[in-house]
Amino acid sequence: MTLATIDHELCDREGACIDACPRMLFLRGKDSFPVERADAQSLCIQCGQCVAVCAKGALTNHLMEGKEFLEKADLNRGADPLAWVMKARRSVRAYRHRPVDKAVFRELFDVVRYAPTGSNTQKLWWIVTLEPENTRILARLGLEWMRRTYYPDSTDEDWAGGADPVLRGAPHVVLCCAPEDYAGAKTDAVIALTHLDLLAVSRGLGTCWAGVFLKAVGGWPPLAEALSLPPGQKVYGGLMLGYPRYDFRLVPPRKPVAVDWR
């Protein structure tokens, strides 16, 4: 059984499903139609990104029930803007070649600075790459780590074409930092990054949590050196950020909430 079926009559061959899949399970095949990797079914995490991002409804994922997806257009943004963002927000892995203005970042951080911190310590600080080229430099360093750890037997040809599995071509990366000796740093960083994540989406931006990049920072000295962190400081989380290349038409299903009422 295959993972997905592509309706060639509907498919616009734009490649949104290829770019949106976190596991990179789709490739461009004959005549640019998406085709799945041989091991796609076993690697699929059923996030629904491939179905949700398809503007034409051309892709069916056989591991997921299509009727359980929500039409984003049916969500009432005006009635509850925060709930809309929390449901409609998707991890973006394809970005426009358009940097975000510094003034927009200033507006975001002017709100995010109100995120709660343990005992009101307010020890967080941020690194933001404003120039896309600076982001690409960090992505290339992260790729060096990835090639040496996850794919030690890969060759230069395997990575031809400018692939960026680390930061997915995002124009910016935003990193949340704090002192290494601050016990609440990780919790505070997650809270602040979540505030930033949702606020950015409400402003028409796209985000994705930079987990692979964070692993690379901790495991590849050249990347850590490139960040020029002050002594005693550490990166505790990060987001890719930019204007999304594609709009998500659907909201993928999620499991029913599990609550032990007492």
Which string of DSSP letters, residue by residue, matches 166-234? TTTT-SEEEEEEEETT-TTHHHHHHHHHHHHHHHHHHTT-EEEE-HHHHHHHHH-HHHHHHHTPPTTEE
Length of the chain measured in residues:
262
Contact 1, 62 (CB under 8 A): yes
- pLDDT recorded at residue 131: 97
The span from the first CA to the last CA of the chain, in angstroms, equals: 44
Residue 15 lies in a domain: yes
- pLDDT recorded at residue 30: 87
The stretch 51-62 carries a mean pLDDT of 97
| pLDDT interval class at 100 (50, 70, 90) | very high
- The number of distinct structural domains making up the chain is 2
- pLDDT recorded at residue 15: 95
pLDDT digits (tens, 9 = 90+) for 24-46: 999 999 899 999 999 999 999 99
Is the same domain home to 93 and 174? yes
CATH of the domain at 121: 3.40.109.10
Retrieve residue 50's tokens.
Answer: 């491939």
Is the same domain home to 209 and 236? yes
Q: At what angle do helices 185-202 and 102-112 cross, to 10 degrees?
A: 130
Determine the Cα–Cα distance for residues 53 and 59; give it in Å rounded to an integer.
Answer: 9
Q: Which helix (H) or strand (E) holds 126?
A: strand 125-128
| pLDDT interval class at 195 (50, 70, 90) | very high
- pLDDT recorded at residue 154: 81
Determine the Cα–Cα distance for residues 191 and 179; give it in Å rounded to an integer.
Answer: 16
The stretch 62-90 carries a mean pLDDT of 95
pLDDT of 169 over the 90 cut? yes
Q: The pTM is what? A: 0.94
Is the same domain home to 229 and 170? yes
pLDDT cut 70: percent of the chain above it: 100
Residue 250 lies in a domain: no
The stretch 67-76 carries a mean pLDDT of 94
- Rounded to 10 degrees, what is the CA torsion of 85, 87, 93, 98? -20
Is the same domain home to 215 and 90? yes
Residue 184 lies in a domain: yes
Q: Which structural domain, as residue segments, surrounds residue 183?
A: 81-242
| pLDDT interval class at 157 (50, 70, 90) | confident
Retrieve residue 251's tokens.
Answer: 């909201």
CATH of the domain at 34: 3.30.70.20
pLDDT digits (tens, 9 = 90+) for 126-140: 999 999 999 999 999
pLDDT of 162 over the 80 cut? no
Determine the Cα–Cα distance for residues 210 and 115; give it in Å rounded to an integer.
Answer: 20
Rg (CA), the chain: 20
| pLDDT interval class at 65 (50, 70, 90) | confident
